[in-house]
Amino acid sequence: MKVLIVTVKPWNIKKSIQLKKENKNIDVFIITDKNELTYENIRDINPDYIFFPHWSWMIPKDIYSNFNCIVFHMTDLPFGRGGSPLQNLMSRGIKDTKISAIKVDGGIDTGDIYLKEDLNLNGTAEEIFIRASNIVFEKMIPQIIDRKIEPIKQQGDVVSFKRRTPKDSELDTSFDLEKIYDYIRMLDAEGYPNAFIEFGNYRLEFSRASLKNNKIIADVEIVEVNENE
């Protein structure tokens, strides 16, 4: 069997390499550059499964139409279709979610469901992503391969999320202490814009937050704001 992992996040790349080393009966191929995701490259590999953990780009139709493509979405679908799932969940005060493994089709997170696994949303965004990666690689991918699971249609009411922008990372004066804490930690991961406040010509960006004794302790980086931003 041939399996292709397509991902750009370091925690998923690490798990992909581990999967490749530990599975002698499966040929594991890895793509870590989205520009290498072409039909020609995939055709040369001819994988039985293509897995997309933490993938943020559209998958070309000539790929998902000809190969068995599976993405992992951090909501209990059909609740939470769309972009920035973790941030949208945490900004709503949600503490626990599901990782949904879905078959890629022409819609946004509309594909049939292979399986779901529980995911707790404690900790920083990066800690959550690493936790999710462990679940995807150690539980979900092996189950899909070993049990040859057939996906089923999504069931329930559709709730769609809007992809967040860097401006949405600004802390609002109406936030209570717990929401400020959630905003800081939900954006505390590589490649994400930190939660911030504007202070004159400067932006105060927060990370590594802890909430104890009714106060937040966090790292802050102060940067000068470019007038063109």
Residue 191: give its domain's CATH number: 3.10.25.20
Q: Does residue 73 sit in the same domain as residue 183?
A: no
Total residue length of the chain: 229
Let me know: does 72 contact 100? Beta carbons within 8 Å: yes
Residue 190: per-residue pLDDT: 87
| Domain shared by 111 and 203, yes or no | no
Q: How many CB atoms lie within 10 A of CB 38?
A: 13
The count of other CB atoms within 10 Å of the CB of residue 37 is 18
Tell which residue, 62, 67, 40, has the closest CA to residue 52: 67
Give the number of domains in the chain: 2
Q: Kindly state whether residues 154 and 185 are assigned to the same domain.
A: no
Specify the CATH number for the domain of residue 72: 3.40.50.170
The conformation of residue 133, written as its DSSP 8-state character, comes to H
Between CA 182 and CA 184 the distance in angstroms is 5
Query: Can you give the pLDDT at residue 12?
Result: 94
pLDDT at 25: 84
The answer to whether the beta carbons of residues 218 and 205 sit under 8 Å apart is no
pLDDT value for 226: 77
- Four-CA torsion 130, 132, 138, 141, nearest 10 degrees: -130
Name the 3-class secondary structure at 2: strand
Provide the whole-model pTM.
0.90
Domain that holds residue 220: 166-224
Domain boundary among 108, 136, 161: 161
- How far is residue 181's CA from residue 190's CA, in Å, rounded to a whole number? 18
78 cis-preceded (ω within 30 degrees of 0) = yes
User: Which structure tokens are listed for 2?
Assistant: 């041939």
**Average pLDDT per consecutive 10 residues, the chain (229 residues; last block may be shorter):** 94 93 89 94 95 92 96 97 94 94 94 97 95 96 93 96 92 95 94 93 96 95 80
Q: CB atoms < 10 A from the CB of 136, how many?
A: 23
What are 160's two structure tokens? 């769609």
3-class DSSP state of 76: coil
For residue 187, how many other CB atoms are within 10 A of its CB? 26
> Which amino acid is present at 20?
K
Q: Do 156 and 172 lie in a common domain?
A: no
Q: Could you give the CA distance from residue 74 to residue 102 in angstroms, rounded to a whole number?
A: 11
